[in-house]
Amino acid sequence: MKRILVIHGPNLNLLGKREPAVYGKTTLLQINNSLKALSRRLKVKLTIKQTNVEGEIVDLIQGARAKFDGILINPAAYTHTSVAIRDAIAASGIATIEVHLSNIYAREEFRQKSLISPVANGTVLGFGSKSYLLGLEALLDIIS
């Protein structure tokens, strides 16, 4: 049974409350429940984390080396600024999928660049909470 680490980046704990025009009304709890439902169907073991601290995301990715088969990450605001998370993914040696709720390439200039994409196995973006489910499916496909 495959083990997947899901990492939610900064401010995603506010989902549903935060700027619903941009991020939709679904809460993080609902996303996590959808992910768990899908994981039961796909028979994978899910561990879900959220943190606002860049370095803790680096810690999580580093810690995943021996314990997980894949990482599903929404780096949120750190997508555009974190070389450290990028390096951690490149160093992790684990299949990693990047997801975004919104279409970052249709937003402000400074969001139209992902430091994470070049080191991710693939990216799913713009489908709202559905991005996570597609990403999980794709991740399982890769590590199988």
**Which residues of the chain form contacts with a copy of itself (CB under 8 A)?**
9-11, 13-14, 17-19, 51-56, 58-59, 62, 65, 76-78, 80-84, 86-88, 90-91, 93, 103, 105-106, 110-111, 114-115, 117-127, 130-131, 134, 137-138, 141-142
Q: How far is the CB of 4 from a copy of itself (least distance, A)?
A: 16
Residues 6+ apart with CB under 8 A from 93: 65
Give φ, ψ of 18 to 5 degrees: -85, 125
Q: Find the shortest distance in angstroms from Cβ 72 to a copy of itself.
A: 13
Strand boundaries in 1-144, DSSP class E: 3-8, 45-50, 70-74, 95-100, 122-125
- Residues forming the active site: 23, 100
